[in-house]
Amino acid sequence: MTLQFHSSAAARRHTGSELGGALLGAQLPESPPGWPVQAICAPLLGADMAAVQETWHRASPALHGTSEGIAWRRSGDTLFGVINLDESEFAGTAGRSPLQAASEAAYDRIFRLLDAQRLPYLWRVWNYMADINAETHGLERYRQFNIGRQDAFLAHRRGATGNVPAACAIGLAGGPLSIAFLAGQAAPVPFENPRQVSAYHYPAEYGPRAPTFSRAALVHPPGQEILFISGTASIVGHRTVHPDDVAGQCRETMANIAALVDAVNRGARSQPFTLDELVYRVYVRHAADFPRIRDTLAPRVGAAEVRYLQSDICRAELLVEIEAMASHPLGQD
């Protein structure tokens, strides 16, 4: 019954036990309609395959549906969904850009689905959008997204601090606003990083509304403890450090992840998590930096599975961002 994660080289046929997942690569095969598969259209770096498929699955059969444009599948008390919105269909009203409106609508719909499914908790959210650092309507697009996201959390009385999901927010060359999420019955246990100001408490110099995510979360499907490390970058306190030094950013980011894993291990119910067992996704702003990044990370991640994607990151000075996850079995407690 455990929720399993695996990756494979080619787009495989979908089987009934899958909840959904993601396809990563510069050129992606069509995913079958109605399946929650997030298309992350970005070049894979240092990989010998053109596309990778990441899949969440579970032995028990899944319920599925489409609700307000969200493709979702549910097994037991766990649901995976994907929503893709074309911003151009969200005409901005005064003071509200199309991306802001689309972001608010996407989270609105996600929360309505979770209410209807009686699954209260958002565990982990993967946010992708085009031109994340571009300024339009007088504001950087990532900051527009943050307003829409926070408004939806508040409108649904979910609060925008503390108990918020783990997340990432990444820029792609084009495509829709795409949001994938895992949700469940059991409350996630959020963690903050002692080296960083909580993102939901960032000061206004990073945008009129703070981002709504926690630095990490432990989630507990039956018999299991899954760790999600949110997108993590070279930020200490709330400031970007090593702005023009990609190796420095890698070392700082891994120091942040190590500190976070230490904090998580003080609250984990399973065996302690270690850096070399995590599955990493590394977002690389400039493809030319990839060899430096790989070589700097190598001694820090050991034999771990690491996937590199060329993409934009939510602060213009950030050259690299790293997210990670791991799963442990949990004895009967």
Give the CA distances from residue 317 to residues 104, 176, 221, 242, in Å, rounded to whole numbers and listed in that order: 26, 24, 37, 9
169, 226, 229, 320: which one binds ligand 3EB (CB under 6 A): 169
Place of tokens 């002692």: 194
Closest to 183 in 3D by CA, of 166, 198, 197: 166
Active-site residues, by number, are: 321
CA 276 – CA 319 distance, rounded (Å)? 23
Site membership for ligand 3EB, residue 19 (CB under 6 A)? no
Segment near ligand 3EB (CB under 6 A), from 35-43, 76-84, 167-175, 299-307?
Answer: 167-175
Site membership for ligand 3EB, residue 43 (CB under 6 A)? no
What is the contact mask toward ligand 3EB in residues 103 to 132, using x (rule: CB under 6 A)? ------------------------x-----
In this chain, which residue has its C-beta nearest to ligand 3EB?
A: 231
CA 23 – CA 38 distance, rounded (Å)? 6
* Least distance CB 250 / ligand 3EB (angstroms): 14
Site membership for ligand 3EB, residue 80 (CB under 6 A)? no
Asked if residue 251 lies in contact with residue 257, where contact means CB atoms within 8 angstroms, the answer is no
Q: Which is nearer to ligand 3EB, 233 or 330 (CB)?
A: 233
User: For the residues of 150-216, what is the DSSP string, one character each?
Assistant: HHHHHHTT--SSSS--EEEEEEESSS-EEEEEEEESSPPEEE--TTB--GGG--GGG-SS----BSE
* Least distance CB 211 / ligand 3EB (angstroms): 4
CA 135 – CA 155 distance, rounded (Å)? 26
Q: Which is nearer to ligand 3EB, 51 or 199 (CB)?
A: 199
Asked if residue 239 lies in contact with residue 204, where contact means CB atoms within 8 angstroms, the answer is no
Q: Which two tokens stand for residue 273?
A: 């998590």
Q: Which is nearer to ligand 3EB, 230 or 311 (CB)?
A: 230
211, 270, 273, 285: which one binds ligand 3EB (CB under 6 A): 211
| Helix intervals (H) in 266-321 | 290-301
* Least distance CB 231 / ligand 3EB (angstroms): 3
3, 83, 199, 293: which one binds ligand 3EB (CB under 6 A): 199
Q: Which is nearer to ligand 3EB, 31 or 127 (CB)?
A: 127
What is the contact mask toward ligand 3EB in residues 292 to 321, using x (rule: CB under 6 A)? ----------------------x-------
235, 309, 324, 326: which one binds ligand 3EB (CB under 6 A): 235
Q: Which is nearer to ligand 3EB, 14 or 80 (CB)?
A: 80
* Least distance CB 150 / ligand 3EB (angstroms): 10
| Amino acid, single-letter form, for residue 52 | V
Q: Which is nearer to ligand 3EB, 74 or 149 (CB)?
A: 149
CA 282 – CA 250 distance, rounded (Å)? 10
User: Alpha carbon 1 to chain centroid distance?
Assistant: 24
Does residue 332 sit in helix, strand or coil? coil
Catalog residues that contact ligand 3EB under the rule CB under 6 A: 127, 167-169, 199, 211, 213, 230-231, 233, 235, 314
